[in-house]
Amino acid sequence: MARTTSLSGFTEWLPQERLVELHVLDTLREVFERHGFSSVESRAVETVETLLQKGEIDKEIYGVSRLQAQDDAEARLALHFDLTVPFARYVVENAGHLAFPFRRYQIQKVWRGERPQDGRYREFTQADIDIVGDGALPFRCDVELAVVMARALESLPIGDFRLRVNNRRLSEGFYLSIGLQDTAAVLRAIDKLEKIGRERVAAELMETAGATAEQAEKALALAQIRTEDLSFVERVRALGGEHELLDAGLAELAEVIGELERRVPGRAVADLSIARGLDYYTGTVYETVLEGHESLGSICSGGRYESLASAGKRSFPGVGLSIGVTRLVSRMLTEGTVTSTRAVPSAVYVALRTDEDWGAAQDVADALRSRGVNVEVALRAEKFGKQIRHADRRGIPFVWFTDDQGLHEVKDIRSGEQVAADPRTWTPPEEDLVPRVLPAG
């Protein structure tokens, strides 16, 4: 990143950095739409009750109020802290207008009042995809969603990544099989394993989940299983648990890992330490790490939920994944792993011979723009050398000149080559038409 913003936790990109972010967003949008996902946008503000209904996270919520409010009618409004809970409300309110299973992608800002640190911001952009059913949703949607997200990440210049997959039915079934009844407490403790370490998780299991030392050890042994193939099934069986939930979870996780290895080989791993602390996940859960940047945490996470959205007896089960776009872009910029070929969209700068030529210069620019070329026109006539230097500082590769006879020439200011050109037909080389984001080096 080029600089630190004056308000901690809130990013502001410079133009060249913003081009990197736009490239990421455009790439994700293209991949999501190619797989049949429709774009939606929900409001930024929800009621506090809506945001709290799936877990106590009030320390992260930004409340919203009007400075000139005369009463407390809007006192319980807040900015959404993710896109999943608002999407659940959106589905319930618009169910009569949606065709199920409904495939949605959503790219928006979210806000969390947590302590800013590397990869964590108070305002950031998320990109979510979900498939939601009416009453039921085939398990194959869990598989398809993981494949789509892996393909989206493969399309970005981010290097190697691993999609870490687990199944909460597997975990919960195993915990029940060894006598741990408060499975939610166990999952919340296991979810902290990478943050606080094995010993502290064991202590928390005994304190909050009522585990004995032996039960805590078995729960931790399950969390240590990690394989890139289906061998995790035998390793789980070797721990000795027996429960129908465990059987179902093993079968589902094997299906996800098998299909990912077939369609996006080398991108997925069965990792039984993945728990996802939020209570609404009920089956498959996902987290994604960049290799070499594990300290950044998960850049993409989510899972299966059976009852996040419901209206009376009608339920809308779904499966979703969310990319922390700001976290990802920030690391790409900080590490210098990507570069933009230029800082501005403009490919051509039309120079002015005299101030009276401004109208004619706009005609040239419009002729080029009509064929998809991005163009700027000088605001005043100056020495050509000064106009060329201005274009160079802006990062614009071509400068257009028109003489007093109406003849046109265009100069590539990188090579110095200057040739005759016709604004009705000339086009820059394809690689110069728009800025491109490329891996550095």
My answer on whether 162 and 289 are in the same domain is yes
Structural domains of the chain, count: 2
Average pLDDT over residues 334-360: 93
CATH at 359? 3.40.50.800
My answer on whether 322 and 353 are in the same domain is no
Q: Is residue 249 part of a domain?
A: yes
My answer on whether 332 and 359 are in the same domain is no
Average pLDDT over residues 2-20: 83
* pLDDT tens string 198-222: 999 999 999 999 999 999 999 999 9
What is the pLDDT, as a whole number, of residue 59?
A: 61
My answer on whether 116 and 243 are in the same domain is yes
Q: Is residue 217 part of a domain?
A: yes
What is the pLDDT, as a whole number, of residue 429?
A: 96
Query: Taking 90 as the threshold, does the pLDDT of residue 146 lie above it?
Result: yes
CATH at 273? 3.30.930.10
Q: pLDDT exceeding 70 applies to what percent of the chain? A: 95
Confidence band of 54 (pLDDT split at 50, 70, 90): low
Counting Cβ atoms within 10 Å, is residue 343 exposed (0-12), middle (13-18) or buried (19+)?
middle
Omega before 345 within 30 of 0, i.e. cis: no
My answer on whether 404 and 335 are in the same domain is no
The answer to whether residues 13 and 125 touch, using CB atoms and an 8 Å cutoff, is no
What is the pLDDT, as a whole number, of residue 1?
A: 47
Distance CA 269, CA 271 (A): 6
Average pLDDT over residues 423-435: 96
My answer on whether 314 and 393 are in the same domain is no
Can you name the residues that pair with 437 across neighbouring β-strands?
Answer: 340
Q: Which of 319, 339, 359 marks a domain boundary?
A: 339
Cα 286 to its chain centre, rounded Å, is 13
My answer on whether 218 and 365 are in the same domain is no
Instruction: Answer whether 0.85 is exceeded by the pTM.
Output: yes
Q: Print the domain residue range for 433.
A: 348-439
DSSP letter assigned to residue 375: E
My answer on whether 332 and 369 are in the same domain is no
My answer on whether 333 and 354 are in the same domain is no
Average pLDDT, the chain: 91
My answer on whether 324 and 357 are in the same domain is no
My answer on whether 278 and 396 are in the same domain is no
Q: Is residue 9 part of a domain?
A: no
Binding residues: 82-84, 112, 126, 130, 276, 280-281
Binding residues for L-histidine: 82-84, 112, 126, 130, 276, 280-281
What is the pLDDT, as a whole number, of residue 297?
A: 83
* pLDDT tens string 356-377: 999 999 999 999 999 999 999 9
Confidence band of 432 (pLDDT split at 50, 70, 90): very high
What is the pLDDT, as a whole number, of residue 332?
A: 87
The answer to whether residues 155 and 290 touch, using CB atoms and an 8 Å cutoff, is no
What is the pLDDT, as a whole number, of residue 378?
A: 97
Q: Is residue 69 part of a domain?
A: no
Q: Is residue 319 part of a domain?
A: yes
Cα 244 to its chain centre, rounded Å, is 35
My answer on whether 334 and 369 are in the same domain is no
Q: Is residue 5 part of a domain?
A: no
